[in-house]
Structures are given as C-alpha cells and as structure tokens.
C-alpha cells in the first residue's frame, strides 16, 4: 500500500497545531529586517517549489507581508518562500524575519507545521512525505502528536506508520500531545506497574503511574487487582479469558480436569494464564532478552505454542490414535521440564 493511497484531508475535529515549544525549539517574537542575500536557502517540505501565481498575487497586495521564519543557525528559510519571491518581485532587497532557534530536525518539524497550517498549504503528498519522515525520526511520538504537526488526521498517520518500511529502532513508548510518554501497548504499562508493586507495595499512586508510564487511574486499577490477587490485565487486553468478578474459573489441564466433547481436557486454554500473550509480547520488546542468544532461544521456544484452544484442539484431534500415548508421554516430559524451569526462575527472582 503506497503512502499516497491514504485518503487526504485535513482531520475532522482538527487537532490543534503544535507550538514551536512543543516541537522542541524557540521562535523569537522579535522581528528583524534582514537582507535577502543573507538567507542561505530554503529548508522546506514543499517539493514543488514556489507557485508563481501565488507569488504574483502576493506581490500585488498593497500591504506589508508577514515576517518569514528563518532557522538562525543555518539562515535557511523555514516558512515564507513565496513572500520572499514576492518581495523580490516588488524590487525589495530585504524582508522581515523571525528567527527560530533549535536543531535541524526541529527546524524541519516547524517548517512542516507552518507550511501546512497557513499561507499556501502543503499538498497532501508533501504532508504525507513529511509524516513518513517524522514517523522515522520521531517514532516515539504518538499519531496525534505527528498529526498536530502535519495537519493530517491521526488515523491517516496511523496508516502511514503501518506502511512505513523504516528499520530504525522503535520506541516502546509514545509521546502524546500533552508531552507525556506512555507505553505503546497498554498491557506493558500495567505489567510494569505490577512488577513495581511487587518490589514496593507502598508506592504512591502518582509515583507508580510516573514510573510505569500510565495514568493515575490505570495505576489505581492495577493496585486493586494486585492486592486482590486478580489478573493485572482486563479482559480487553487479554483477548478474552476467564471472568474477573471472582466467578468460577474453568479447571486447568494440570489440575486433572475432565475431558470435553472435543477430546481436549476441560478448561484447557492453550495459552497458559490469560495474560501470557501480553507477557510474551512484553518479552519480545525487551532488549535485555532479545539481544542475547539464550533470550532469543527462549523466545523461540515460547512462541511456538498455539495461542488459542481451537488450535490446540485441532492438534490433539489430529494425533493418530496409535501414537497418542507416545505424544502424551513426550508432552508430559516437556511439561515437567518447563515446570522445573518455572520453579527455578521463580526461586532465582
């Protein structure tokens, strides 16, 4: 799917554009008169260059043109190329300038934001290309935060992020419009909060939320679940599972549950505890696990298990009757080995 295939439009219920400070720099309020010859070039996401008709229309206006924005360290024009061309067409040798202080990447972000929201807006293709660049350079930004710079909808940014083929490092957190970093996957923040509570049950809710990167409300819910011995992940983050209200849970395989009509032990969920998929996903994103040989080996072994009861049922159903005892014995041996691993890890921790 190409980036340009996304339907282009300014976001419905438009997201408020980012300010220079939110982008990471300072836009000087003071206005200076600067010779055009001192400007070293243009740093703009506009790929089509200046629009001659727009330049002539500006030149014919009998009013002062708004100041252009210039990146002070490089003297490149971030916003106002049409105004500069119009000034030259009028025979003027200098223009009013507001300076932006910040890095080159921040300068690009401001150029995108200014050129998208005012004057002659960037085309959808230009905003799309800019969004793809920002997704690559600021992968920790949320879709809404990138949308606030590019004037695309957050939904469009999400599609572009999914289409991106960048192989750069990916952050497991996203920075939202309020500047707060939150876990990319809600389950991860809850699991981290649970780990923090296990180490220090007396953490205040605000401190727990800060360390885990969650909201205070989420931290409060995790604490209640932790104290009550319930699953830390609600049903919606576990892809379904047993009831959370203390109701009867189905018996697990190793509890000696009876056989169901499908020939699979009753209550066998196939994925262990309901939170296992989220825990496994958290492991996959942990550099300390995936960047070691033994860690990668564990991930391979843990990832081969079917994730749902229907898949387990099919596997069991398809085992030839005359080999069922052999498969059962091997499965039991492996189960005992994994149980020994679990007990060893628990004792070590």
pLDDT: which is higher, 74 or 271: 74
Pairwise CA distance, residues 116 & 153, whole Å: 13
Pairwise CA distance, residues 79 & 66, whole Å: 10
Mean pLDDT to the nearest integer, 171-179: 49
Q: Is 198 helix (H, G, I), strand (E, B) or coil?
A: helix
State CA 230 to chain mean position distance: 28
pLDDT of residue 324: 86
Length of the chain: 349
Each residue of 249-289: pLDDT tens digit? 443 444 344 444 444 444 454 444 545 666 777 777 777 77
Is the pLDDT reported for residue 247 higher than 90? no
pLDDT of residue 268: 52
Report the 10 Å Cβ neighbour count for 156.
23
Cβ atoms of 334 and 282 closer than 8 Å: no
Confidence of residue 96 (pLDDT cuts 50, 70, 90): very high
Mean pLDDT to the nearest integer, 82-111: 89
Q: Is 273 helix (H, G, I), strand (E, B) or coil?
A: coil
Lowest mean pLDDT: which of 106-115, 167-176, 244-253, 332-341? 244-253
Cβ atoms of 60 and 91 closer than 8 Å: no
Is the pLDDT reported for residue 166 higher than 60? no
pLDDT: which is higher, 15 or 168: 15
pLDDT of residue 248: 41
Cβ atoms of 69 and 78 closer than 8 Å: yes
Confidence of residue 153 (pLDDT cuts 50, 70, 90): confident
**Of 271, 276, 278, nearest in space to 189 by CA:** 278
Is the pLDDT reported for residue 133 higher than 70? yes
Beta bridge partners of residue 76, listed in sequence order: 41, 71
Which alpha helices (DSSP H) does 215-308 contain, by range? 216-228, 235-238, 276-284, 287-290, 293-303
pLDDT of residue 265: 45
pLDDT of residue 208: 86
pLDDT: which is higher, 124 or 49: 124
Lowest mean pLDDT: which of 55-59, 171-175, 217-221? 171-175
pLDDT of residue 271: 47
pLDDT: which is higher, 287 or 64: 64
Each residue of 32-45: pLDDT tens digit? 999 999 988 776 67
**What's the token pair of residue 92?**
């003027």
Residue where the block lists tokens 């061309």: 85
Confidence of residue 186 (pLDDT cuts 50, 70, 90): low
Beta bridge partners of residue 101, listed in sequence order: 26
The pairs formed by 215-219 with CB atoms below 8 angstroms and a separation of 24 or more are 215/182, 218/186, 218/189, 218/190, 218/193, 219/193
Confidence of residue 95 (pLDDT cuts 50, 70, 90): very high
Pairwise CA distance, residues 87 & 36, whole Å: 9
Mean pLDDT to the nearest integer, 215-230: 84
**What's the token pair of residue 119?**
């004057």
Is the pLDDT reported for residue 182 higher than 70? no
CA angle (46, 50, 53) in 5-degree steps: 135
Each residue of 301-319: pLDDT tens digit? 887 777 667 777 888 888 8
Maximum distance among all alpha carbons in the chain? 95
Question: Is the Cα torsion angle 312, 244, 174, 115 positive or negative in sign?
Answer: positive
Cβ atoms of 67 and 96 closer than 8 Å: yes
Beta bridge partners of residue 95, listed in sequence order: 34
pLDDT of residue 242: 43
pLDDT of residue 94: 92
């Amino acid at each position: 799917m190409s980036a340009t295939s996304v339907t282009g439009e300014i976001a419905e219920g438009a997201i408020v554009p980012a300010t220079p400070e939110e982008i990471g720099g300072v836009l000087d309020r003071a206005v200076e008169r600067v010779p055009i010859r001192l400007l070293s070039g243009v740093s703009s996401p506009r790929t089509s260059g200046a629009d001659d008709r727009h330049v002539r229309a500006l030149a014919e206006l009998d009013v002062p043109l708004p100041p252009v924005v210039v990146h002070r360290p490089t003297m490149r024009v971030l916003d106002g190329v049409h105004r500069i061309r119009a000034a030259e067409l009028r025979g003027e040798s200098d223009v009013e300038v507001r300076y932006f202080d910040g890095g080159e990447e921040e300068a690009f972000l401001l150029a995108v934001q200014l050129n998208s929201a005012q004057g002659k807006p960037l085309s959808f293709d230009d905003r799309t290309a800019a969004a793809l660049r920002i997704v690559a350079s600021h992968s920790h930004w949320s879709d809404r935060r990138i949308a606030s710079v590019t004037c695309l909808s957050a939904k469009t940014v999400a599609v572009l992020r999914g289409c991106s083929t960048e192989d750069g490092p990916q952050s497991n957190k996203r920075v939202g419009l309020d500047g707060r970093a939150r876990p990319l996957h809600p389950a991860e923040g809850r699991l981290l909060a649970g780990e923090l509570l296990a180490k220090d049950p007396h953490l205040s809710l605000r401190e727990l939320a800060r360390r885990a990167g969650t909201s205070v409300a989420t931290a409060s819910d995790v604490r209640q679940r932790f104290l009550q011995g319930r699953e830390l992940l609600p049903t919606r983050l576990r892809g379904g599972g047993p009831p959370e209200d203390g109701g009867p849970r189905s018996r697990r395989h190793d509890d000696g549950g009876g056989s169901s009509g499908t020939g699979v032990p009753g209550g066998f969920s196939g994925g262990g505890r309901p939170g296992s998929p989220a825990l496994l996903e958290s492991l996959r994103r942990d550099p300390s696990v995936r960047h070691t040989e033994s860690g990668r080996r564990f991930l391979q072994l843990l990832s081969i298990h079917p994730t749902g009861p229907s898949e387990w049922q099919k596997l069991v159903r398809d085992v030839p009757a005359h080999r069922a005892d052999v498969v059962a014995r091997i499965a039991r041996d492996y189960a005992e080995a994994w149980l020994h691993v679990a007990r060893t890890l628990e004792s070590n921790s």
